[in-house]
Amino acid sequence: MWHDWVEGDEAADLKYRWQWTYPIAISPHNHNKIYVGSQYVHQTIDGGHSWIIISPDLSTNDKSKQQKSDVQSGPLYGCCIFALAESPLEDGQIWAGTNDGQLQITRDGGAHWTNVTRNIPDLLPWGTVSNIEPSRYDAGTCYITVDFHQMNNRDPYVYKTTDYGKSWKLISSDIPRGMLGYAHCIREDPVHKGLLYLGTENALYVSFNDGAAWMPLQANLPHAPVHWMAVQEHFNDLAVATYGRGFWILDDITPLQQLTPEVLKSDVYLFPPRPAYRFLSLPWPMSYADDQSAGQNPPYGASINYYLKTTPKSDVKIYILDDKGQEIRVLDGTKASGINRVWWDLRYEQTKEVKLRTSPIEAPHVVVGPKGWRSLVGAGSPIKVLVAPGAYTVKIHVDGQEFTQNLTVKKDPNSAGSEADIQAQVKLLLKVRDNLNNLVDMINKKKEFPLASCRQLGENIDFFSCLYYACFSWVNRGLHSSIASAMIELPDYLRKLLGIDLIIINIIKYIKEGRYEFE
């Protein structure tokens, strides 16, 4: 099976009629079985090396719609299969819709086909069956969209059957009519029965009651034609393809899947969050600053979603607890009525800010500011330790009420480290973080730091904390402009004032040479 060169020919004279975007469907029961549609349904089970035809001509085969076009050199492809899908519940139940208004079904893998077009009430002729969605919940249920805009009818036509096409019901009566109102694609949610998504020529809609009522799901999606949709089931993301080769993703539709009448009656509801992955950053192999095809990733971490019936009086606070019930992060929540979303970046609270009270000795123009202190510049970003994989608790406080849900953080599946390795790494980093916080507390409390007291200080904090304390103190007193310049002279200061031994001096040397790093 292949495409012939057809320039100057009429479609009526061709063996196979292929419209520009002919359908390709992978069987949900056998991923080596693939269907494609011309005016026939073709099937392969060997990667396309051989094909068989499993249907008769499923179109009207009206020769008047298969002539040469007046505006292009090729033929006019009418009477072709435009939509093709197999039921995920019933092996061999295949639906085919054409661009001349025909809809047919087989339940035995193509041995026998039934034309169910006449069972659709008040269906106008010459529509395009643009999308077919067999249900994953009931074998006899199927949804279709029919596009009549080429017949100058731009209303949305969406139908549902529950008896294998013997009868149909229109379920798009409240979709807004207009020049761009015709429907392209309908999808059934893989988690919540009765939750439907519909793409039209200019909008995206959602129904929570199997099409009885629809509401916009537009958000920041441009009002472009929505020609295709798919739910990425592992992450519960809704992927949308728009005309013009645009791809958009509605991240984490878990709240839509869990939005029940009971939730809507609640004053506050915290949705159970989906698992979050502790993904590691990877460098791009190549990128351009002005790449028009570059996409935008969602915020890193866990999405926390909650419903507010009305705007609360007080601020919304979100608390993250570890598996021991200890508070590790506090987030400010949004407080709009409806569904709210806040992202947690899977990190602990960052280290405290150093407050320097003097100008650098060689840069008097750098002033401390009206608060009597200045921030530390040139010493790197504050540490925010990434949590280890495990069980966590999300708690929100709203107007004196408290709500909790469990959250699972998973290891990056591409990470070579074990969970035990990560736990040990996080434990070490938390120790460094705590020591840094101790140092910052001491720096922020005192203007002067006697270096000779470092031996006594070492009784309370570890050696690395002592080094950081000394460096911060030198910068604070104007002896150095940055931590980096202070580190250069650490060995000499330590030999003279701290009596440090050679092993520790070598550790400092390794840090300066880049042989030991903190992330």
Across the range 466-493, mean pLDDT stands at 51
Rounded-to-integer distance, Cα 461 and Cα 307, Å: 45
pLDDT in the model for residue 3 = 61
* Whether the predicted pLDDT of 500 surpasses 70: no
Model pTM? 0.82
CA-to-CA distance for 230 and 393, rounded, in angstroms? 31
Tell me the C-alpha distance between 383 and 143, whole Å. 52
Rounded distance, CA 86 to CA 26, Å?
Answer: 8
Lookup: tokens for 193: 């029965």
| The predicted structure's pLDDT at residue 4 | 65
Convert the pLDDT of each residue in 32-59 to its tens digit: 999 999 999 999 999 999 999 999 999 9
Cα 519 to Cα 513: distance, rounded to the nearest angstrom: 16
pLDDT of residue 514: 52
Q: According to CATH, what is the number of the domain 11-257?
A: 2.130.10.10
Model confidence over 340-365: pLDDT tens digits?
999 999 999 998 888 888 887 777 88
Partners of residue 85 on adjacent β-strands = 95
The CA-atom distances, in angstroms, between 215 and each of 158, 172, 199, 218 are 15, 11, 12, 9
Q: Which residue has the tokens 């009430």?
A: 121
Beta bridge partners of 94: 86, 106
pLDDT given at position 72 = 55
Tokens of 151: 């017949």
The upper half-sphere exposure of residue 166, i.e. CA atoms within 13 Å in the direction of its Cβ, equals: 4
* pLDDT of amino acid 383: 82
Across 189-219, b (16+ Cβ under 10 Å) vs e yields bbebeebbbbbbbbbbbbbbebbeebeebee
- pLDDT(108) > 60: yes
What is the structure's pLDDT at 501?
Answer: 40
The highest-confidence range among 92-106, 379-393, 420-434, 460-474, by mean pLDDT, is 92-106
pLDDT reported for residue 470: 55
In this structure, the dihedral spanned by the alpha carbons of residues 457, 458, 462 and 464, taken in order and rounded to 10 degrees, is 80
- Whether residue 454 is predicted with pLDDT greater than 70 in this model: the reply is no
Beta bridge partners of 96: 84, 104
> Is a pLDDT exceeding 50 seen at residue 516?
no
Q: Is the pLDDT of residue 503 over 50?
A: no
**Range from 308-317, 369-378, 467-476 that averages highest in pLDDT:** 308-317
In sequence order, which residues have a C-beta less than 8 Å from that of residue 373 and are 6 or more positions away? 355, 356, 357
pLDDT over 90 percentage in the chain: 64
pLDDT at 494: 47
Q: Residue 399 pLDDT more than 50?
A: yes
Tokens of 383: 């540490």
Flag whether pLDDT at 498 surpasses 80: no
- Pick the range with the lowest mean pLDDT from 156-165, 312-321, 378-387: 378-387
Can you tell me whether residue 499 is helix, strand or coil? Answer: coil
Give the start-end residues of each E strand in 217-326: 226-232, 237-242, 246-250, 268-270, 276-278, 302-308, 316-321
- Residue 457 is predicted with a pLDDT of 42
Contact 14, 4 (CB under 8 A): yes
- End-to-end CA distance of the chain: give it in Å, rounded: 56
Q: How does pLDDT run across 89-101, given as a tens digit for each residue?
A: 999 999 999 999 9
Residue 281 predicted with pLDDT over 90: no
The number of residues making up the chain comes to 519
Higher pLDDT, 375 or 194: 194
Q: Does 222 score more than 70 pLDDT? A: yes
The pLDDT value given to residue 519: 34
**What's the one-letter identity of residue 61?**
N
Residue 466 has pLDDT above 60, yes or no: no
- Environment class of 19 (CB within 10 Å of its CB; exposed 0-12, middle 13-18, buried 19+): buried
pLDDT computed for residue 373 by the predictor: 83
CB 507 within 8 A of CB 516: yes
- Kind and range of the H or E run holding 95: strand 94-98
Q: What is the pLDDT of residue 6?
A: 63
Distances (CA, A) of 320 to 332, 482, 504: 11, 35, 38
Distance CA 467, CA 453 (A): 12
The residue among 84, 80, 77, 73 whose CA lies nearest residue 34 is 84
Highest-confidence range of 226-230, 472-476, 511-515, by mean pLDDT? Answer: 226-230
Single-letter amino acid, residue 127:
G
Q: Is the pLDDT of residue 77 over 80?
A: no
- Position 280 confidence tier, pLDDT thresholds 50, 70, 90: confident
pLDDT in tens, 401-412: 999 999 999 999
What is the Cα–Cα distance from 191 to 387, expressed in whole angstroms?
Answer: 29
Share of the chain above pLDDT 70, in %: 81
- Which H or E run includes 181? none
Mean pLDDT, the chain, whole residue set: 85
pLDDT of res. 120: 97
Nearby residues of 332 by Cβ (< 8 Å), 6 or more positions away: 315, 316, 317, 318, 342
